[in-house]
Structure 1
Amino acid sequence: MLTKHHAIGAAVAAVLAMPMLASAQTNVTVYGIVDASIRRADNANAAGQSVTSLNDGVYGTSRWGLRGSEDLGSGMKAVFTLESGFDPSTGTLLNADASANNGFGAAPNGRLFGREASVGLDSPLGLVTLGRQYTLAHPLSGRFQPQPNPNLAAISMFSTHHVARQDNMARYYKQLGPVGVYASYTFNEGNGRGRGVGATYTAGPLDLTAYYQEVNNATNTATRGIAGAGGSYAVTKDLKAFLGYMKRNDRGTSAQENDVWSIGVNYNLTAPLVLTVNYAQDRQSGINAGKRKMGYVGLDYNFSKRTDLYAEVDNNRLSGAYPLPTFMGTRDSATSFSVGLRHRF
């Protein structure tokens, strides 16, 4: 029979064990990137003049977020991600507002977690996540680019066509040996319906990716189909090559079609210094037929695993009736350069 002192001791031990047990089962991480760049943009206004500005990052956007998981036992985990974008040059929120077209979802009152807000369940059957998330085309196309879908529009091709994020999305992922399978469905709640499938194959130095997704506009009167395929190959431990292709096909209110090719490399010149070279071409047909050709060269110096200094030079040329991008003031070619400082936490 337990004495009074034994009972009190057992109760205290049980209370002390509770936070330890919770700590062992639950994990929450605060993370982020602060990335600011100075850019000298050629042909940046209607007069064809150059403009110098302080901006968000070139390759990626500044952000902060919370990511967590809880071990539920039997190989199951609950997971969540909350991620907010911001412009370090002003401190204002990014991804806070958007039109209702093509699955973005209108946000008249703004958003705190405009980059991602999802909760999910990871089990032996796969990972299912629900909420505002990346479409399949965005992360999968990033796997065959030397800088995955850069933030700077002047050096980005694929993300100008596919929708990066959608509200009200359910996503599925399962890894089966070297093969990864993906699926997504976006519920139509005033932001259009969406669906997608994708697969990856990774074996040694080779990484292959293929996907297809469709997104509707808010009124479901037009559908944008995006199909992509490509991959990367680690030629040596210092040299990695990338090749990718994407097809855009609009049906409904527009007959626009686009064929985008991209080829590039990342090369470790020294332990802290990485060279990036990328060339891409977008051929538009159906309406406003023409081409956009883009190339850039970048150098990235890593002070540490968290902090790096980078610089890039890019060139854009248009032909035919290809639509004038927002970063160009006239149809003349544009050669511009940027320097940025990035810190991860």
Structure 2
Amino acid sequence: MKKSLFALAALGAFAGAAQAQTNVTLYGVIDAPIEYVNHFAASPPTQNPATGQLVQSPNGGSLFRMPSYGGLSTSRWGLRGTEDLGNGLQAVFVLESGFGSDDGSLQYASASGPRIFGRQAFVGLQSKDYGKLTLGRQYTSIFWAMANFSPTFYSTLYEPVVAQLGANYREDNTVQYTGAFGPVTAVAHYSFGTGLQAVGATPTFGGGAGEVPGHAKDNTGYGAGVSYQAAGFGASVAYDQWNPNFAATAGNAGSAKKAAAALSYTWGPAKVMAGYRWGQLKAANGGTLARDDYYWAAVNYQVNAPISLTLAYYYDDVKILRTATTTPVVNLPNPWQITFQADYAFSKRTDVYLATAYAKNGGLNFSASNSSFSNGYFLTQGNDSQVGVAIGIRHKF
């Protein structure tokens, strides 16, 4: 639903700001699935500091629920706008808020409370010749570089987005440049303070010592990516680094590094893709907390105008995964997952879907431990696999 600035002014929020050359769009998605998951633990596992072994919770079982924040898409609403400044230059902004479709709650929290615009909040300038420069809370470069190579388009059900991109795929206090040059798109960013903090190998939101005098590295992040799309062929490479502060006091920055590459090819109704991501997490003292090689492959198939299918495979070769440098390194089984989605579109705005996945050697979306691999699906004690099935309806406005 598009609203002119004059219409929105009737709400009082933008009174007196309307200009003839300004365009503001109200947009969003509401996605409500019903999900079944087996072997679902009531709490995340812990890691025995003496042996390094994961200790799973014995409490839990099968779970029927309505997930809070979406299915194929995360439920959200936002405002985006442009103002023509002349000579091919525009001012741009985006304010985007995530919400629970089941209870209306805000999606994100910080140290100071819920975030109204926790998904995106930025303003900037864009030129048709020189690209776009934006400032605020934004997605990282690796997120944009890999977006066209995501098997399920970063679906909440079921894609290991955190495992692939890192928990810092959105960052506060970020300056970002994006430029399109024919079939090539380049993006780079720098965050003065990401808004995340690492406790052991576990990221927590709203913490960190970013933007502290005398500790310029703490909680910063940066990265870049380059993508090519032409004649059905796509290729992309990206690098991302986050320097998490590992303590409540400043001066304890470690490093979380990721590098990724992906390819795709489209012919007729089918698109095939494959990718690889290298990852490493180090503590402030230089000790390695996590090291892995992550792979994925998938096919998207448009059966006819309303029906689309997706089949994806994900595999993570875990070399090291521990909560502290004093925890012994143990050989963990490598998690893998198969995801299938079927979508039926009633219109361009409304669709229904089936999503299902099977994970081995970890919970769905590679929730192997209380680490950066975690995405919320934890296994009960004595189980090494998990199945999830969901049906839902989605409406875009």
**Matches of 1:149 and 1:122 in 2, distance apart?**
26
Mapping 1:14-33, distance limit 5 Å? 22-23=19-20, 25-33=21-29
Mapping 1:1-345, distance limit 5 Å? 22-23=19-20, 25-45=21-41, 46-47=58-59, 49-55=61-67, 56-97=69-110, 107-123=111-127, 124-152=129-157, 155-160=158-163, 161-162=165-166, 163-188=168-193, 190-191=209-210, 192-218=219-245, 219=250, 220-236=252-268, 238-253=269-284, 254-255=287-288, 256-287=290-321, 289-318=332-361, 323=369, 326-330=376-380, 331-345=383-397
Task: Give the paired residue count.
Answer: 312
**Matches of 1:334 and 1:188 in 2, distance apart?**
36
**Alignment RMSD (CA, Å):** 2.0
**Matches of 1:94 and 1:322 in 2, distance apart?**
23
For the Cα contact (< 8 Å) 2:136–2:173, is it kept in 1? yes
**Matches of 2:368 and 2:119 in 1, distance apart?**
30
Q: Are residues 290 and 222 of structure 1, via their aligned partners in 2, closer, same or farther at CA, if it must alter by over 3 Å? A: farther
Q: Unmatched 5+ residue regions in structure 2?
A: 1-15, 42-57, 195-208, 211-218, 322-329
Deviation beyond 4 Å, 4+ runs, structure 1:
none
Q: How far has the Cα of 1:232 moved from its partner?
A: 1.8
Higher CA-based Rg: 1
**Matches of 1:209 and 1:222 in 2, distance apart?**
27
Give the TM-score, by structure 1 length: 0.85
Q: How far has the Cα of 1:270 moved from its partner?
A: 2.0
Q: How far has the Cα of 1:329 moved from its partner?
A: 2.5
For the Cα contact (< 8 Å) 1:138–1:159, is it kept in 2? no
Q: How big is each residue's C-alpha offset from its partner over 1:288-330, in whole Å with a ceiling of 9 and x where there is no partner?
A: 54311101111000000000000012100007x9537531332
Q: How far has the Cα of 1:48 moved from its partner?
A: 5.4
| Sequence identity (%) | 35
* Aligned residue type for 2:387: T
Give the TM-score, by structure 2 length: 0.75
For the Cα contact (< 8 Å) 2:172–2:193, is it kept in 1? no
Query: Which protein has the bigger helix share?
Result: 1
**Matches of 1:181 and 1:173 in 2, distance apart?**
6
**Matches of 2:123 and 2:19 in 1, distance apart?**
19
For the Cα contact (< 8 Å) 1:47–1:329, is it kept in 2? no
Report what 1:102 is aligned to.
Answer: none
**Matches of 1:26 and 1:201 in 2, distance apart?**
32
* Aligned residue type for 2:389: F
**Matches of 2:262 and 2:137 in 1, distance apart?**
26
